[in-house]
Structure 1
């Protein structure tokens, strides 16, 4: 723990109705000066991070920026949190392109479930409702990388857990709060494993991750058809987000196939990423999706009081029951928040699940 004079940190919370948000701010030493960092988001989720200082400043300047930041949050209803803040490790490279790309999944139709559950070509895993996060360990340097390949800060518990691995690694997973649910091992001790079978990479993951680490866990995987069916039913009955099917013999191919592919997802709850194309009255915004080169309306969603109204062009996540094929609008939308890790170009109509119309007798 840093005990240098003047170093400060705070954790604030905002609770109202179903809202439970956290905002953390800190003054941290860097080189010959100081920076002011922040982290925010819903309690229990992996937080969005950044800095309020574009360059290194003096301690006096940092304290002024820090004080103004905390005052602005408390004026909006945030209060000091009784819980200690979970620090986020920042390397100074946040926002840089790492050059690494993750493998993205396509959705699978419900009609394909029987084949995937009862066959032996795919294994099954739970789909976690978090943020995609790859972790690279190179010597003493541990770097977080998001789904777009951008360097991001990581929670300190995850960094500490990864630091216990005695080799250089590149792990792919889903971050939920201060825990990384790891599902793939791409590099180990200087060896690139991407061309190896998924089942072999996952086996390597099991022996690489230290045991009894709450911040770093490998994802449980079912291979036998009976186990897959049981895991699928349990996930559905316990209101999990969905399941993922992975071809056991497939290599790791960055990017997303135009359709299908060796890794598929099936979500129990529908959600999609949209672009805000208009701000309406009564805390409502219009959502847009790309249909080819055209940005078309997909309906409106109300922004809850515990969320800031997003600006035009912002990418947001919205849950919904289904979409109408004729209008393209979504039914019963529920705003989930901003998505900083998804570009607007990926907000396309092919994300939507449409209402199945009853056939005429």
Structure 2
């Protein structure tokens, strides 16, 4: 029910009297308080004094520049006291673990046209293939003669149900939009950062593993599927402890290609003071000035939301179901995430953030 005001009262005298028709009930339908609160705009009332603000976990008011204020209860929390630790100040509204249940992160709805535009899906590449035909094609691709088992990359199998696949893509698009990120399924190069010519695998100290021709064909097949809007069966979900994370929506086999880690490519020297929690090593050159990192703070894909394990505990190590591998592909460095074992539906994806270096602090990870 809309709030009462004097303007509405004066207007009501000029309206004709309401006379219900025969058989029509005189009762009016009022919106519930829950519905009113859901539609109402939230107004933040600032405190008069923040100088005495304390962390609700440790009780200290020191390092007030690192205290986050919950937009629900207005209590303060040190970024390092939270579990998992919050590495950088969140973009937009932030809620503590207790308040998050009352403020769930919404999943936006997208039309088919908006999904195609957001993920830059080429309409000419989209083909309507029945599930039966797709299964026959996968069956024909298998070798007729059993050979010695080799560790080759497997292409992912996208969800066949169109509506379910759309919901998977909606979850990723919503997460990217909430963090004000653009979708990019490739490495990106911009002026002021490292040029594409800097990405040369022969700069790698000690050399880099070269991707085989067969694995390159698998990679190209996965990229072709992505251009048609066929992605791995994954959903982005929000957890109050872990933040955004990725959940498997269908079983995935060991050695299945998941995605390439994408973002802006820059020199490590330019990011020495960057507090981003999502940078990925791309090139460890013999000359440190040529070393490169991937920075998905403005552009990225689903790999931006895959979490790391706590590699200081046995339980944390058991969570790992992906491995991060760097390959030389046609002379350029690339980082891929691959299934390190069979993954069941409903599992969340994790990999070791310290696969090549031991500099990232993971002891506070869940």
TM bracket, shorter-chain basis: under 0.3
Of Structure 1 and Structure 2, the greater helix share is in 2
Structure with larger Rg: 2
Relative contact order (C-alpha < 8 Å, sep 6+): which is higher? 2
TM-score (norm 1): 0.24
Larger strand percent: 1
